[in-house]
Structure 1
Amino acid sequence: MHTSASPLLIALTGGIASGKSAAADFFSDLGVPVFDTDQIARDVVEPGSPALARIVAEFGADVLDAAGRMDRARMRERVFNDPEQRKRLEAITHPAIRTELARRAQQADGPYQIHVIPLLVEGGRAGAYDRVLVVDAPEEQQLRRLMARDASSEEQARRILAVQATRRQRLAIADDVIENTGTLEDLRRQVHSLHQDYLHMAARRTPAP
């Protein structure tokens, strides 16, 4: 069952280790349909999928692990410093992700949806959304969280941050910003406040005649 009006579409983005997932979980707890493109990216390359078959044809069977799944760590290492290979991979995965995201979104109900898109700036997809919500944190805080989360060195963490859009670039496209510099409870309060705002915005939209 679907509402007569199209749902308000909110793109949620932010740098790595900024708190996107925690914010998305709080929206989900409120009953909001949340679609995470990172999860969809995993789903569309499951064994037997057309996307995985194309990846194997393009890159070779050595990108698979012993179980026949894509070895994400090996593939990430392969394309991380090779823009040409990264483009070849994205040419396969991005259309598959967008198609699956659209399919899931069409099946969901509710006044608004959250689409978690970590690389929103890099992919130039902000214009496809009614609003852009950026979860923001200072770079040094991102580094500390990333090193704690992944047990990575500071050098590795800085390398990962360096290939992402800058904080300034993300904030430049933001309609709404969550400042995730405090506790989880602070984050939850901000999500609850935005939830009310988005419900009001969605209620003001009128169905197409």
Structure 2
Amino acid sequence: MRIGLTGGIGSGKSTVAGFLREAGAAIVDTDAISRGLTLSDGAAMPAIAREFGADFVATEGALDRDRMRALVFSDAAAKRRLEAILHPLITAEALRQADAATAPLVVFDVPLLVESGRWRARVARVLVVDCSADTQCQRVLQRPGWTPERVRGAMAAQASREARRAAADAVLVNDGIALVTLRNEVMSLAARWGCETITSP
């Protein structure tokens, strides 16, 4: 079974992905794929350099992430231009990894699953990790380099909680609960959805 995993920034989606991996699922991490495409030898860099110019290429040849992030958070047209380069490459590599997987459950970790509109048809279930906006802010502000303004910009660029929940087949509420409780909920869901290699709590 192929599952789409998504959630807003700071929701704990990566933590849930880790628990699903522990349960025996194969995780296809589209963020990791995107980062690989924008390294100095990444397949997306020639097109990004042509489209956005040398100012968006760091000295070592990789994408200048801070500069690009600032641009796409403030310019919707620039965001679409970047997505037009990255999304086909990300999708192709994600599907290649899924086809090569042998686990009973393949999980596509896709931060913008709802926003893209394309992933729903590729998965049998959508799992959303949810929490309050205040919790999102508190968690993300603990990361190096993040400011309240930057957090608000990132959240504004993502689908609303309501839109994500409306697209979900299952919702994990990761707000005010112990980590072990979240893990147990993930393990139970993984067992129902087809993972056979369940690690005991």
TM-score of the superposed pair, with normalisation by structure 2: 0.91
Q: Secondary structure at the match of 1:50?
A: coil
User: What does residue 62 of structure 2 align with?
Assistant: 69
Q: Structure 2 residue aligned with 1:177, among 171, 179, 185?
A: 171
User: What does residue 93 of structure 1 align with?
Assistant: 86
Offset at 1:151?
5.2
User: What does residue 40 of structure 2 align with?
Assistant: 47
Could you tell me whether the CA contact under 8 Å between 2:19 and 2:183 is conserved in 1? yes
After TM superposition, the structure 1 = structure 2 runs for residues 1-209 of structure 1, keeping only pairs within 5 Å, are 8-124=1-117, 125-150=119-144, 152-181=146-175, 182-199=177-194
CA RMSD of aligned residues (A): 1.6
For residues 176 and 70 of structure 1, what CA distance do their matches in structure 2 show?
35
Where has structure 1 moved over 4 Å in runs of 4 or more?
Answer: none
Could you tell me whether the CA contact under 8 Å between 2:7 and 2:13 is conserved in 1? yes
For residues 154 and 54 of structure 2, what CA distance do their matches in structure 1 show?
26
Q: What count of residue pairs does the alignment treat as equivalent?
A: 194
CA radius of gyration, larger in: 1
For residues 156 and 64 of structure 1, what CA distance do their matches in structure 2 show?
21
Q: What are the ranges of 5 or more consecutive residues in structure 2 without an aligned counterpart?
A: 196-201
Letter of the 1:18 partner, please give it.
S
Q: Secondary structure at the match of 2:81?
A: helix
Q: What are the ranges of 5 or more consecutive residues in structure 1 without an aligned counterpart?
A: 1-7, 201-209
Deviations 1:11-30 (A, max 9, x none): 00000000000000111122
Letter of the 1:75 partner, please give it.
M
Could you tell me whether the CA contact under 8 Å between 2:10 and 2:139 is conserved in 1? yes
Change (3 A) 1:107 1:46: same
